[in-house]
């Protein structure tokens, strides 16, 4: 969906901005078909991409083979969060986007991910925003479903794939990162204005305007609190910075 793609681009830009200028060692957990992995490699970083699905890793491998200029920078590993084979290896950045919403709880996963972040490194988490549960349904005119979610303070709702997924708040994710020695950085709301669109095919100018508007809202209250997704960042060994 163009709206989803344009909005999520802002979170990727925020993550890339936190990486060192030189080649960084990046772990992409839940890499899927390798879309983010290739973006990181194209930015000059050495990327280890992990996913528990052999099918998704196969798709990632095909995309990597199509980019022989980037292939030497990419390592593919079949593993999920609970089976990452990196007991002694640490990374300048650990990226886990679109994974936590499929888990029963975020605490254990964040602990494992944080433990893989090297000193000065950053942890990037993109997941469903519990604080905005029901917002998409209301914008789509699904009022009964929206009221039920809102009135019950639901932690889960049905996504575009028809699966029931769970949300986290930025505050909870920041607290979990801090518990494991990382200093939270300013967080973003993602897909604030366009998440509810099903069939949206903007022209180039409208796409740019939509992306710029999403970016402007992503770091500002109260707008970011209504994003379908929440993107949190935390750094090991960094000074805590005030959230805008």
Nearest to 68 by CA among 100, 95, 41: 41
Which two three-digit tokens encode residue 42? 């194209």
- In order, the DSSP letters of 73-96 are GEEEEE--GGG---SS--EEEEEE
| Residue-wise burial string across 174-203, b where 16 or more C-beta atoms lie within 10 A, e elsewhere | bebbeebebbbbbbbbbbbbbbbbeeeebe
pLDDT, tens digit, 9 for 90 and up, residues 132-145: 999 999 999 999 99
Predicted pLDDT at 4: 45
Looking at residue 209, what DSSP letter applies? H
Looking at residue 240, what DSSP letter applies? P
Cα gap 186→164, rounded to integer Å: 28
pLDDT, tens digit, 9 for 90 and up, residues 119-128: 999 999 999 9
Rg (CA), the chain: 18
Predicted pLDDT at 195: 86
Cβ(17)–Cβ(40) below 8 Å: no
CA atoms within 13 A on the CB side of 228: 23
110 to 6, 94, 181, 203: CA distances (angstroms): 26, 11, 11, 39
Whether this prediction's pTM lies above 0.85 is answered by yes
H or E stretch at 158: strand 156-158
At residue 244, does pLDDT exceed 50? no
Cα gap 166→61, rounded to integer Å: 29
Nearest to 50 by CA among 12, 11, 76, 17: 76
pLDDT, tens digit, 9 for 90 and up, residues 17-44: 888 777 999 999 999 999 999 999 999 9
Predicted pLDDT at 72: 97
Q: How many CB atoms lie within 10 A of CB 120?
A: 11
């Amino acid at each position: 969906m163009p709206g989803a793609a344009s909005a999520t681009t802002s979170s990727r830009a925020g993550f890339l901005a936190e990486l060192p200028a030189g080649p960084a060692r990046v772990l992409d957990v839940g890499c899927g078909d390798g879309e983010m992995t290739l973006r990181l490699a194209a930015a000059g970083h050495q990327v280890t991409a992990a996913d528990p699905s052999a099918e998704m890793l196969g798709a990632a491998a095909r995309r990597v083979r199509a980019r022989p200029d980037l292939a030497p920078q990419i390592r593919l590993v079949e593993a999920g969060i609970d089976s990452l084979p990196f007991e002694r290896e640490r990374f300048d950045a650990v990226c886990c986007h679109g994974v936590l919403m499929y888990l029963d709880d975020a605490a254990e996963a964040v602990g494992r991910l944080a433990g893989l972040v090297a000193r000065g490194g950053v942890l990037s988490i993109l997941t469903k925003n519990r604080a905005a549960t029901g917002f998409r349904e209301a914008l789509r005119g699904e009022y009964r479903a929206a009221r039920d979610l809102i009135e019950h303070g639901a932690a889960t709702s049905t996504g575009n794939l028809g699966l029931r997924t769970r949300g986290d708040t930025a505050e909870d994710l920041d607290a979990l990162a801090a518990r494991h020695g990382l200093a939270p950085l300013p967080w973003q709301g993602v897909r604030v204005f366009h998440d509810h669109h099903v069939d949206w095919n903007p022209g180039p100018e409208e796409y740019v305007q939509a992306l710029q508007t999403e970016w402007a809202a992503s770091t500002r209250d109260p707008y970011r609190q209504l994003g379908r997704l929440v993107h949190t960042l935390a750094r090991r060994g960094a000074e805590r910075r005030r959230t805008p």
